[in-house]
Structure 1
Amino acid sequence: MRLFPTLTWVGVTTFVGVSIAAKHSSWASLDYWAVFLVLNSGIVCHGLLAHSANDYVDWNTGTDRNSPGLFSGGSRVIPEGYLAFDSMWNGMGVASLLGLILMALLYLRIGSQALLGGAIAVFAALFYSLPPLMLAYHPVVAEWLAVVPALVACGWLANVSASGGQPLEAGDWLPMFITALVLVGHLMFHHLSDIEADLTATPPKFTTPAYFAALKWDPRYVPASYWLLVVALSIFTRMYVLGIACTIATAISLSVNLSHRRLLAQIDQVLLLGISVAIIIEILY
């Protein structure tokens, strides 16, 4: 698994959900053991289950064999010789077992809400890559049927776990949705360096940026469009720090040279850190 993106995605999403719960009560009253279970469940689901499934399928179709792998192109455990191709199923099995244990403990803590959140996360982790759906191989649907629901579910589960099962108010969903959009923008930027490898896979991996490239459109517009949507929402929600951060991210996305892949990798890490800090600032203040 790629440690920094995994910890950042899961950590930020969990933090948003927990912070919303704290605003309705207090930080001292939250159930931190339940939050700990949610955080570790997210790491297992995103870092182990989803990556094992993704590595297996992407190596099988050929996209990871041709990817430069600087910051995308799977976790690189197969090409670097750490694990064999067939052992990815073992990775999925171990991740599933760990996930079941964590979900069982969370169920004992908060009840059936753990099952709903876990089901959404597992569906996204597996069918983002695995047949018959292979959502990652189809433009747009991967984001909206897997990534966004999983991120919102993670934030919601963190919220109800921290608050002891208190239902969310209508306005509480918007910060979690905006957080999901910000991270989807990062995922789209993440895909930019793999476009050539994705298009030569069998079947072609039509991530949304790759699909734009296949249509001779500029793939840099894809991450930029998600971040611009966040900018618009930030005006409505008065999340001005996040709006400024996503404006900068949009400008960077539109100006990068896709042939400079090593620079893309460095920019990717800086962007993820920057937008994550902006989210945390908005939620805290």
Structure 2
Amino acid sequence: MRKHKKLYDRMGMALLSLPSTKSDRANNKRRNVGNLDATSSAHVISVTGIRPEEPILFCGRYNKAIPVIRQLIKQSERPFVFVGTKRDLNENSCLCLFETQWEYETPLESLPEGNGKIVLESGAETNLALKNFISNWDSHFILMCLGNGLQIDQELLNLLNGVGHYMLISENLQRGIKCFDGVKMSASELLKSMDYIIISSIGTAGKELLKVLPEFEYEKITNSMDFSYHHDAPHEHKGKHHRNGGGLSLNQSKTRESRCIFTEEDLREMQDSNKMLIYNTQYSHAWIAKVTA
């Protein structure tokens, strides 16, 4: 049987819409999160606008940071210096893949020419020396490892911001923040002070990260169905007939609420899928990428 082509297209809004889900296109568009899929670190840095001249924080396993660090070193106009403890910079560490010309075990008043690393012993004297001299390290791109004996507080953060071109690298962000005079800087405060945030895995600081990321207007659609039925007794003057009846009503409500662009579950799924979250705080824009090299 031949089907006739419709003369008119259906117009207007559908009577009912399906409830919103994670794959809801409208909500995903409002989230405005870029998806770079599998790509190189060079492409990620180019698209997201990361610059080694401004504060950067990487959170995750050191081996995941290697491609990003390598690309940032190439782009930087300065030699680099790794700063960390023996646990960070021992001969078996992947961070030692980068060729260096010098190595010291105590903070220096000024840094020699070329690439190097400073392998620190944990302690109050080391922290004091680091704070006394780090303002003089403007000649180098500072790569500081946190959480394995070296911690940061508000004073050290202010000094680093005075230098500007540095990158904090941490496998455990909460462990890398120091309590000073009974007051501990929160992980969200540290994250907010960064220009760029790169997350491979965030661990227990996931909730703190969500405080920093932007929000969007999430539209929630709820459909409901009501069925009513009545059964009356016979009328004494109008015979023995019953007046029975029933009805079906379909309802839909739409509400909007502010939500973070990610949830803790999203962060876990990204980690399980070997993906990174990159957030440019200057533009309040986020991307997801699987960095291949």
Could you tell me the TM-score, scaled by structure 1's length?
0.31
Would you tell me which structure has more strand in proportion to its own residues? 2
Would you tell me which structure has more helix in proportion to its own residues? 1
Could you tell me the TM-score, scaled by structure 2's length?
0.30
